[in-house]
A and B are shown apart, each in its own frame.
Chain A
Amino acid sequence: MLKVTEIENIDFRVELLEEFSEIIKRYPEGKHKAALLPILHLVQAEYGWLSTESMERVANFLDLQPIEVFEVATFYTMFFLKPQGQFVLEVCRTGPCCLVGAEKIIKYIETKLGVKEGEVTSDGRFSWRGVECLAACGMAPVLQIGPDYTFYENLTEEKVDQLIQDLKQNNEAIKSDSQIV
């Protein structure tokens, strides 16, 4: 749920505001509300989540009522309304992935990270959640990590170990090795 918390007043970087302005040019005059989703993605990439203040700033920028931003942010599953770990592992839990072991992988990630779905590890680095179909069923099981939404495919417990280790070391994470034809 949205809570007005004590967050420092958010002033978007000038470069970010410039990106916002570029996005608005894609739409006919007066239809700048269409820029809302792309802008929310940018804000989330910048801060890791969408605070009430940042959404109010977006509303201000697009000349919308704050509720018009809140209702959109709460509708779409990609937007986080509370702080997350530095890396959010989003694992697909829908049918086709489950046919080839996604449920086991989810259990494994939960045990490995030692936190429940939606919680953040004590070092602030990781959180995880199950998400619905990511349209990568042929490379199942899969998970994604924002804000670039890099995909990790054909997951095994070993690959999860490796991935988490790599992320901890901030190395370039393992590249997907999709076997797709």
Chain B
Amino acid sequence: MARKLLLENVNVPGIQTFEVYRQKGGYRSVEKALSSMSPEDVVDEVKKSGLRGRGGAGFPTGMKWSFLAKPEGKPRYLICNADESEPGTFKDRYLMTHIPHLLIEGMIVSSFALGAKTSYIYVRGEMMPQIRILERAIAEAKNAGFLGKNILGSGYDLELYVQPGGGAYICGEETALIESLEGKRGNPRIKPPFPAISGVWGCPTVVNNVESIAAIVPIILDGGDEYAKIGIGRSTGTKLISASGNVNKPGIYEIELGLPVEEFIYSDEFCGGIANGKRLKAVVAGGSSVPILPANLILKTVEGNARLMSYESLAEGGFQTGSMMGSGGFIAFDEDQCIVRNTWNFSRFYHHESCGQCSPCREGTGWMEKVLHRLEYGHGKMSDMDLLIDVAKKIEGNTICPLGDAAAWPVASAIRHFRDEFEWHVNHPKDAVERNFGLGNYADSLDKLVEAEN
């Protein structure tokens, strides 16, 4: 069994309560940090751990913390990003539902490290049950002296609040989240200034994902160096992977980074193979925004090496033959799934969720949705694939926030790897409405790369 740092106690009965969580060693990281460490020490340990933001971007958390401005007389804020909305991702929901005190504990230590006296957990509005769970956990922690004035006699004060969102994917983008927390529409801000300089109410602010905050607990307990020993290369520690789609056992799995993708899909410890005895056609490895890969490229890189669940290995080959770790939303497609239909579905999602500020995204996502819709429903043209790639290129990199990129990548990658299937939709419009293209040769082993001769 792989080592678990976050979910070790998740199945202990009553672990949602302060009492049981505490019995199992909960809140020791708060005791350790507040009694024997300075805020700078905590930041140093997080830097040493090599922890990378678990929300999707993968930016080193310790470095993000060290950018926080500390002007005199201005409060600083920590906001936990629990606006989990990336299709394929449901790990934060799981963590908040089953082991809420881990997040509260992480929030206290992280707030202490950043010198925040008030912190917020911004939870997507649809997660009302989780909001109630967190509010109860906060009340329990406060009652036990871990929140409020003079925590554990250390002189450190912290108030922690839960803020509901209103149902908008874009609020997962940190500046949109800040706007939303301020009670406005979730329109992302132009950066710079970055939140570390001017975030919520113009004050220095750090926004971190739920899982990143939770990971602070084992990092402080065992030390950053110990944490960094887990994993592979610059992908340190464990990661929660949300497995969905056509696998036998969808769910949340805590893996040590570096686990082979093949083992993750087929081992009974994890997904247990593809459901209904079917074959794997494709995988979206890191939430809907990352490039989709056919079975052959997700299991092995183009060099023929086994692909691993790590930031580097999933990205190996760039966007030509690789993808991204993203948020760890692992969506598996079996041989009977239609890539065109799924791409249309994702495009509709991004069109729906575009905030409308930037023209390339607002208009481009709508056009991609329309063109993909006509392809799926048998009215496509052969030129549509190039048209889609052209639109995607014009969105990518031309918007304030990464939603534009996130909308462009799935479309571009689907056409890059599954062009046969798109062309089949154009050439066989009647068939395309009635049945699916099938597995094609997407699971066949890859040809060895040969150097092109001049």
Chain A residues proximal to chain B, CB less than 8 Å: 26, 28, 31, 33-38, 40-41, 68, 71-72, 75-79, 93-96, 98-100, 131-140, 144, 146-151, 179-181
Contacts and interface: CB of A to CB of B under 8 A. Distances in A.
A68 B94 CA distance: 34
B264 interface: no
Interface in B73-99: 75, 84-90, 92-94
- Choose among B128, B180, B186, B249 the residue with the greatest number of A CB atoms under 10 Å from its CB: B128
A95 B88 contact: yes
Given A76-B165, A181-B251, 8 more contacts: A34-B182, A72-B166, A75-B168, A94-B349, A133-B288, A149-B126, A149-B129, A179-B251
Contacts of A150: 129
A180 B252 contact: yes
A132 to B, nearest CB: 5
B164 A38 contact: yes
A133 B87 contact: yes
B245 A96 contact: yes
B183 A99 contact: no
Q: How large is the interface on B (under 10, 10 to 19, 20 to 34, 35 or more residues)?
A: 35 or more
Interface in B115-134: 118, 120, 124-129
Interface string B281-302: 0001000100000000000000
B334 to A, nearest CB: 8
A151 B168 CA distance: 18
Contacts of B92: 135
Interface in B124-173: 124-129, 159, 161, 163-169
A137 B250 contact: yes
B243 interface: yes
B266 interface: no
B359 interface: no
Contacts of B125: 37, 41, 76, 78, 149
A11 to B, nearest CB: 23
In the A-B complex, the 9 residue pairs with the closest CB atoms: A76-B166, A137-B244, A78-B167, A36-B183, A33-B183, A149-B128, A138-B250, A77-B167, A75-B185
Given A28-B201, A96-B88, A98-B345, A180 B185 contact: no
B331 interface: yes
A177 B163 CA distance: 28
B50 interface: no
Interface in B307-336: 329, 331, 333-334
B128 A137 contact: no
B252 A148 contact: no
A132 B169 contact: yes
Nearest to A180: B251
Contacts of B75: 28
A71 B185 contact: yes
Given A133-B85, A138-B251, A75 B166 contact: yes
A137 B251 CA distance: 8
B85 A77 contact: no
Interface in B334-381: 334, 337, 341-342, 345-346, 349, 352-353, 355
27 contacts: A28-B201, A37-B125, A75-B185, A76-B125, A76-B166, A77-B166, A78-B125, A78-B126, A94-B345, A95-B346, A96-B88, A96-B244, A98-B341, A99-B244, A99-B246, A132-B169, A135-B89, A135-B90, A135-B127, A137-B87, A137-B88, A137-B89, A137-B244, A137-B250, A146-B128, A149-B127, A180-B252
Contacts of B435: none
Given A31-B201, A78-B125, A95 B168 contact: no
A75 B179 CA distance: 12
B86 A37 contact: no
